[in-house]
């Protein structure tokens, strides 16, 4: 992990200048240092030549054929009209930007975009906040309780997505689901036969529960791993200076774990934004298209309505949005590499 | 202080219970007789039965789904390990032109929007007559897990001190021998955690197989899971039995690898 002490410099001066400075000069803990790769120059140049290219060739070629080609083809397709007829004749019709203008003019498209964005933000916020809090809790527990909680996290993490979608559908089944029973038992009325999949909104609420449940283990366990790399002196120093828990978090923990927070957040944004199986298998984008997010919308436009060109345009726009998000991520990583 | 400890442990226990509940409920439901599944108030005490498992595994082509899933998953993981090992070694240990570009490309590929590209993958597969093929799925899953595998292994290779390798070179090994004798044995945890990640990704994959393999003979377990839910209602007992069976290999591997796996996964993933 790249979360070792590099952040200490910028952080703690207000709290404990001496100690913080001392901390930052100590070498990073052995477990965290995987970045030692500057071999002596002489040997490298002699060994240069073709060998590295032969070694990377299989990876590069397979990514070019199986990933880059579909991406390019996707862009080309988005400028064509390929419907049921063209699919059979295999003669696409070039339509320029028609697919795009149709989408951009379509209020339904914007509804889906907005829904996707809100859905992603809500999920990522919940995942990051709950996951980090559980990570902090893990760090403060005794050995036994920590084992219990990590095992539970591991179980939730290891559940295959498709299996967990079916389980959540069962938990929230209209007639026999345990969720309705719990709510009834707690005295809430109206859950006699409450149909959780009746509206797009409540369908997405269930999807959110599922995604948050399945994603917090990653964040929590990482957070815990990151916390263990922060030396206890920093906490002690903060304590001596009279910082409370909240203050300690913002002055000691957060700056130290900034790379962790940044990278995990972006990974989660991308994962949630692209989530397909969870949304599609839950209610197939229904009822009445009301739980469609961008990937599901593209899939249904293509496979359901046989409008492949239009579907390609949707996915190109989705990818453009992803790249916009990713550019932050890459800038961050590049900056981090330079700092090291 | 006491109260704090109680709150802390109590909170942890509560969170653990909430996290485990869906898994527990899946397992419990899978063992319930049909009559006790379809009750308005859930039954907590029941005589376990394997009826649901018999039903879930008794569907046509069950063993075909199992074999297909295993072929596709293991195939993708093995190929990606071999291809990634070579690339990761070059990136971690050699200097060459275009190295930076390659690193950037791999980082971008790690975020590849496969879920968004299903339609175009379908069209390419259809035009090339690659539909309903296990080979196509294996190839796609291989490329899905490849960037992550390269990335993680690169980290593990970089963590092996160069001096060890150089000592082997001085002792008369060539580069390949030095790699096999010195680095490879030290990569065990890296290989395990990357295979686990690859296994989960391929085992779970749903969108591609849903769209590419419409013929039942070529489908995999994720589609088998959805089979018990029809327009006429769902057979929840069988669905839960199927889900349990489907999750079992992953849960077992996770339990087996535990901390090591998590450490490796997080090292690779958070390194970014």
On chain A, the residues whose CB falls within 8 A of the CB of B19 are: 152-153, 155-156, 213, 217
pLDDT at residue number B144: 95
On chain B, the residues whose CB falls within 8 A of the CB of A59 are: 83-84, 86-87, 146, 150
Contact by Cβ (8 Å): A125, A113: no
pLDDT at residue number B89: 92
Domain that holds residue A107: 93-339
On chain A, the residues whose CB falls within 8 A of the CB of B161 are: 36
* A to B CB pairs, distance under 8 Å: 301
- B contact residues 154-213, partner A, Cβ 8 Å cutoff: 155-156, 158-159, 161-162, 166, 175, 200, 203-204, 206-207, 211
Say yes or no to pLDDT of B73 above 80: yes
Burial B42-78 (b: 16+ CB within 10 A, else e): beeeeeeeebbbebbbeeeebeebbebbeebbbbbbe
Question: How many independent structural domains does chain A possess?
Answer: 1
Q: Which residue has the tokens 């957060």?
A: A254
Contact by Cβ (8 Å): A196, A172: yes
- With an 8 Å Cβ cutoff, are B222 and A162 in contact? yes
Taking chain A (340 residues) in consecutive chunks of 10 residues, what is each chunk's mean pLDDT?
32 32 38 44 56 94 95 94 84 91 96 96 97 92 90 89 92 90 88 90 96 95 86 80 81 84 88 93 91 94 90 94 84 68
Nearest Cα neighbor of B211 from B147, B140, B146, B144 is B140
- With an 8 Å Cβ cutoff, are A154 and B29 in contact? no
- With an 8 Å Cβ cutoff, are A141 and B200 in contact? no
On chain A, the residues whose CB falls within 8 A of the CB of B26 are: 163, 167, 170
CA distance A135 to A188: 32
- With an 8 Å Cβ cutoff, are A34 and B156 in contact? yes
On chain B, the residues whose CB falls within 8 A of the CB of A36 are: 158-159, 161-162
Residue A181 placed within a domain: yes
- With an 8 Å Cβ cutoff, are B271 and A322 in contact? no
* Residues B211-269: tens digit of each pLDDT: 999 999 999 999 999 888 776 778 899 999 999 999 998 888 777 776 665 555 555 44
* Tokens coding B259: 């901390």
The ipTM value here is 0.87
Domain of A217, CATH number, reads 1.10.3720.10
Interface residue of B116, B229, B243 to substitute, partner A, most A CBs within 10 Å = B116
B258 compared with B35, residue with greater pLDDT: B35
Proportion of chain B above pLDDT 70, given as a percent? 93
Residue A206 placed within a domain: yes
Q: Looking at CA atoms only, how far is residue A145 from chain B in angstroms?
A: 7
Residue A79 placed within a domain: no
CA distance B236 to B222: 16
On chain A, the residues whose CB falls within 8 A of the CB of B12 are: 137, 141, 145-146, 148-149
- With an 8 Å Cβ cutoff, are B120 and A77 in contact? yes
pLDDT at residue number A338: 67
* Tokens coding A316: 């190109």
> Is A313 an interface residue toward B (CB < 8 Å)?
no
> Is A75 an interface residue toward B (CB < 8 Å)?
no
Inter-helix orientation angle B236-271/B134-159, to 10°: 40
Residue A80 placed within a domain: no
Residue A309 placed within a domain: yes
pLDDT at residue number A266: 87
pLDDT at residue number A90: 80
Segment B170-192 mean pLDDT: 84
* Tokens coding B47: 């005589």
Which of A213, A222, A302 lies at the smallest CB-CB distance from B119? A302
Which of B124, B156, B243 lies at the smallest CB-CB distance from A166? B243
Parallel/antiparallel/unpaired status of strands A93-94 and A80-81: antiparallel
Measured from the Cβ of residue B127, the count of other Cβ atoms closer than 10 Å reads 11
pLDDT at residue number B255: 74
Residue A105 placed within a domain: yes
Query: What's the alpha-carbon Rg for chain A, to the nearest Å?
Result: 25
Q: How far is CA A102 from CA A79, A97, A310, A318, in A?
A: 12, 9, 8, 15
Residue A302 placed within a domain: yes
On chain B, the residues whose CB falls within 8 A of the CB of A303 are: 119, 122, 211
> Is B264 an interface residue toward A (CB < 8 Å)?
no
DSSP type of residue B181: I
- With an 8 Å Cβ cutoff, are B267 and A77 in contact? no
CA distance B239 to A167: 8
pLDDT at residue number B263: 53
Contact by Cβ (8 Å): B88, B157: yes
Beta-bridged to residue B229, according to DSSP, are B234
* Tokens coding B192: 């395990």
Contact by Cβ (8 Å): A223, A136: yes
Residue A74 CA from chain centroid, whole number: 23
Residue A166 placed within a domain: yes
- B contact residues 92-131, partner A, Cβ 8 Å cutoff: 92-96, 99, 102, 104-105, 107-109, 111-124, 127
Say yes or no to pLDDT of B27 above 50: yes
> Is A128 an interface residue toward B (CB < 8 Å)?
no
* Those residues with Cβ within 8 angstroms of residue B79's Cβ, 6 or more apart along the chain or in another chain: B138, B142
Question: What is the model's pTM?
Answer: 0.84
Say yes or no to pLDDT of B192 above 90: no
CA distance B266 to A219: 9
* Those residues with Cβ within 8 angstroms of residue B50's Cβ, 6 or more apart along the chain or in another chain: B31
Nearest Cα neighbor of A317 from A101, A63, A82 is A101
> Is B78 an interface residue toward A (CB < 8 Å)?
no
pLDDT at residue number B16: 96
CA distance B197 to B189: 12
* Those residues with Cβ within 8 angstroms of residue A192's Cβ, 6 or more apart along the chain or in another chain: A180, A184
What does the H/E/C string look like for chain A? CCCCHHHHHHHHHHCCHHHHHHHHHCCCCHHHCCCCCCCCHHHHHHHCCCHHHHHHHHHHHHHHHHHHHHHHHHHHHCCEECCHHHHHHCCCEECCCHHHHHHHHCHHHHHHHHHHHHHHHHHHHHHHHHHHHHHHHHHHCCHHHHHHHHHHHHHHHHCCHHHHHHHHHHHCCCCCCHHHHHHHHCCCCCCCCCCCCCCHHHHHHHHHHHHHHHHHHHHHHHHHHHHCCCCHHHHHHHHHCCCCHHHHHHHHHHHHCHHHHHHHHHHHHHHHHHCCHHHHHHHCCCCCCCCCCHHHHHHHHHHHCCCHHHHHHHHHHHHHHHHHHHHHHHHHHHHHHHHC
Contact by Cβ (8 Å): A290, A203: yes
């Amino acid at each position: 992990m790249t979360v070792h002490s590099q952040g200490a410099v910028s952080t703690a001066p207000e709290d404990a200048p001496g100690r913080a400075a001392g901390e930052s000069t100590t070498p990073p803990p052995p477990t965290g240092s995987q970045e030692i790769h500057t071999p002596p120059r002489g040997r490298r140049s002699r060994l240069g030549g073709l060998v590295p290219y032969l070694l990377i060739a299989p990876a590069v070629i397979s990514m070019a054929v199986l990933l880059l080609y579909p991406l390019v083809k996707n862009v080309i397709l988005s400028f064509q009209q390929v419907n049921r007829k063209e699919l059979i004749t295999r003669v696409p019709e070039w339509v320029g930007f028609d697919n795009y203008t149709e989408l951009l003019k379509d209020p339904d498209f914007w509804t889906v975009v907005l829904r996707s964005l809100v859905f992603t933000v809500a999920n990522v916020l919940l995942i990051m906040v709950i996951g980090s809090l559980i990570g902090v809790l893990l760090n403060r527990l005794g050995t036994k309780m920590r084992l219990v909680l990590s095992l539970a996290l591991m179980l939730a993490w290891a559940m295959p997505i498709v299996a967990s979608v079916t389980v959540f559908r069962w938990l929230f089944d209209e007639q026999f689901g345990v969720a309705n029973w719990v709510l009834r038992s707690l005295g809430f009325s109206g859950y006699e036969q409450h149909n959780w999949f009746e509206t797009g909104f409540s369908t997405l609420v269930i999807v959110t529960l599922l995604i948050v449940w399945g994603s917090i283990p990653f964040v929590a366990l990482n957070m815990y791993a990151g916390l263990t790399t922060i030396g206890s002196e920093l906490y002690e120093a903060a304590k001596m200076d009279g910082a409370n828990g909240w203050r300690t978090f913002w002055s000691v923990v957060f700056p130290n774990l900034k790379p962790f927070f940044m990278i995990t957040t972006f990974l989660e944004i991308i994962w949630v934004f692209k989530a397909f199986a969870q949304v599609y298998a839950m209610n197939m984008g229904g009822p009445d298209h009301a739980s469609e997010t961008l990937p599901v919308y593209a899939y249904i436009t293509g496979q359901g309505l046989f409008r492949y060109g239009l579907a390609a345009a949707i996915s190109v726009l989705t990818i453009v949005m992803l790249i916009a998000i990713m550019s932050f991520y890459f800038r961050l990583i590049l900056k981090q590499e330079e700092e090291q | 202080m006491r109260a704090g400890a109680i709150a802390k442990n109590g909170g942890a226990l509560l969170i653990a219970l909430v996290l485990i509940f869906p898994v527990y409920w899946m397992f419990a439901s899978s063992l319930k007789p049909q009559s006790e599944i379809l009750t308005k108030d859930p039954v907590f005490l029941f005589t376990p039965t394997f009826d649901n498992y018999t039903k879930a595994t008794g569907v046509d082509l069950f063993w075909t789904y199992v074999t297909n899933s295993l072929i596709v998953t293991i195939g993708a993981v093995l190929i990606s390990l071999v291809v990634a090992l070579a690339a990761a070694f070059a990136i971690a240990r050699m200097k060459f032109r275009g190295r930076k570009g390659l690193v950037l490309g791999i980082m971008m590929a790690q975020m590849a929007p496969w879920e968004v590209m299903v339609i175009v993958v379908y069209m390419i597969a259809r035009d090339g007559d690659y539909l309903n093929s296990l080979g196509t799925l294996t190839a796609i899953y291989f490329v899905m897990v490849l960037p992550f595998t390269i990335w993680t292994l690169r980290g593990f290779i970089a963590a092996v001190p160069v001096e060890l390798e150089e000592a082997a070179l001085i002792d008369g090994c060539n580069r390949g021998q030095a790699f096999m004798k010195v680095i490879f044995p030290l990569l065990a945890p890296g290989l395990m955690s990357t295979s686990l990640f690859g296994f989960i990704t391929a085992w779970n994959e749903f969108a591609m197989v849903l769209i590419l393999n419409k013929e039942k003979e070529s489908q995999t377990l994720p589609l088998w899971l959805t089979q018990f839910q029809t327009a006429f209602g769902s057979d929840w007992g069988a669905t839960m039995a199927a889900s349990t069976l489907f999750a079992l290999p992953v849960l077992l591997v996770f339990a087996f690898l535990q901390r090591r796996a998590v450490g490796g996964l997080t090292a690779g993933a958070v390194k970014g």
